[in-house]
Amino acid sequence: MTASTASLEQLRRCHFAVDLGAARTRVYVKGAGLVVDQPSAAAVNTRTGALIAVGEFAEKMTGRTPDYIRVVRPVSGGTVVDIEMAQRMLRHLLGDKIRRALRRKPRLRAAACTPHDADPLAQRAAIETLVGLGARRVELVDTLIAAAVGCGLPVEQPEATMIMVCGAHATQVAVLSLGSIVTAERIPVGGEAVDHAIVQLLRHQHELVLPSQSVRPLQLALSGNGLTPQGPASTEIHGRDVATGLARSVRVDTATVRNAIQTPLTAVLDGIGKVLRDCPPDLVADLADRGIMMVGGSALLPGFDQMLRQATGMPVHIAERPDVCAVQGLGTMLEGRIEPLALNPTSSD
C-alpha cells in the first residue's frame, strides 16, 4: 500500500474514488460517475450499536434524537477519526448493488483525497478505511491537485494556477505548476468557523439560540451580495430565546454580521498572503492575470469572492460546481481523461 501521491498511470487502474470530507462524503465509480454525495454522518443506537441511518437522514436527526440515539461524524477536519464507523457509513451509502459490482473486480483498487499536509497517521486512516471496503490497493491524491483537475485548471502546464479549497473545517490554498504544488498553506478555518462566529453573535447580542440545523439559512438571508455593503441592511432570523426557551425572531443588522465573520475570514486572507510571499516572482506574475479559483462548499459563502477580490486585487473565480470539484477531479484521473505533461527526453550526456 502506497502513501505517496499516486501517479496518473496508477490512478487509471483504480475502480472507485472517495472524497471523505468533514461535511460530505462523495464516491465516484469508474464508468458510473458520481454515485454518492451525502453528509458525512451516521446515527447509531448506543444500546445495541446498530446503525440506524446514514447521510442525509442521519443529518436530519441531529439535535432531534432521544438520548439512546447518537449522531456521529466519523471524519473531522479531513481526517478519518473513527475508521470502523467510516467503513460502516460508506458501506451503507454505497448500497448493495454498487458494492456487489465492485466486489466482482479482481484486485479492487481505490483512490482517496487527503488534505495537503495530512500526516502519516491521517493517510493511514484513509487507506485502512478503504481497505475495509475490500480495496486491495489504495492510492492517495492531494485534495488540492484533485480539485484543480476537477475544475479544469491546466494543472500539467508550466503556468501558475492558484487554487483555494474552502472546506468545512479548513481552507487550503496552493499555487500549482507543472502538475505539482509549488507552495501551499492550510488554514484551520473553514465554513464552520464562520457559522460559529454568527452563532456567538446572536447569542451574545440578541440572546437567541439557533437550532443546530438552521445556521445555514443565515447566509441565505444575507443572499447574493450579503457580505458586501450593497447587500440588504437587515435580515430576520428565527430562533429560541436563551432565557425563556420560547421561539422568537429578531432583526439583525447585516453590518454586524459582516463584522462578526471578519475574524475567521482575515485568517484566510493571511494564508493567501503567505502563499504569495513564498511563491517565485515569475509565477506571481502569471497569477495576477489568472487569479484565484475557489472550490469547496464554503466557496459559496455570499460575497466571499468579492471580499477576496478587494483584499488581493486579483481576479477571483468560483468553480462551476465548487462542492464536487475534488471528487470530479479524481474521476477524471480514474477515467484517464487528463494528459500528463510529455517532455521530450533529451539525450543523456
Q: Which one-letter amino acid corresponds to residue 240?
A: R
Residue in the block written with cell 430576520: 236
- DSSP-H helix ranges across 13-82: 56-61
- 251, 234 contact by CB (below 8 A): yes
Helices assigned H by DSSP within 48-190:
56-61, 83-103, 120-131, 143-150
User: Does 348 carry a binding-site annotation?
Assistant: no
299 is in an annotated binding site: yes
For the chain, the residue count is 349
- Rg (C-alpha) for the chain, rounded Å, is 21
* Other beta carbons within 10 Å of 107: 9
DSSP state, residue 230? T
Alpha carbon 339 to its chain centroid, in Å, reads 25
- Residue 212 known to bind ligand: no
The residue among 195, 188, 242 whose CA lies nearest residue 222 is 195
Q: In sequence order, what are the beta bridge partners of 238? A: 249
Is 298 marked within a binding site? Answer: yes
Take residue 169 and report the three cell numbers written for it.
473545517
- Pick from 78, 291, 265: nearest CA to 175: 291
| Strand arrangement of the beta sheet that strand 69-72 belongs to | 51-54, 42-45, 69-72
Q: Which residues are annotated as a binding site?
A: 297-300
Q: Which residues are annotated as a binding site for ATP?
A: 297-300
